[in-house]
Amino acid sequence: MFMKILQVDFDYQGPMGTDMSEALKDLALSINKEPGLIWKIWTESASEQLGGGIYLFEDEKSAQNYLAMHSERLKNMGVKEVRGIIFDINLPLTEINSGPVI
């Protein structure tokens, strides 16, 4: 089994920054319970009106399951199109650049 990076982004005009931190705290706590999740970095761009996340998962299956569930949840929150890509990690090169996956 190999760890995977899940990269998600989507058009988003909702609250960002401190407002988002408050509004989505319970969601973040629930994400810790998702099977196979190791970590998530929450990404946002006010200038490009994008929300997103970078996730590290233990294996492909858990990344796939999460992406399916999360896409559905975002659509229920009004997001029209979710761009989600599951990537392999090139570990030797990532290690050279101190990537925090090991």
User: Cβ distance 60 to 86 under 8 Å?
Assistant: yes
Q: For residue 88, what are its two tokens?
A: 């392999």
Can residue 79 be called a binding residue for its own copies (CB under 8 A)? no
Site string for its own copies, 32-71 (x = CB under 8 A): x----xxxxxxxxxx-x-x-x-x-----------------
Distance of CA 53 to the CA centre of its chain: 3
β-pairing verdict for 4-11 and 37-45: unpaired
Can residue 90 be called a binding residue for its own copies (CB under 8 A)? yes
Cβ-based nearer residue to its own copies, 23 or 72: 23
* Binder among 64, 65, 71, 94 for its own copies (CB under 8 A): 94
Cβ-based nearer residue to its own copies, 79 or 89: 89
- What letter would DSSP give residue 50? E
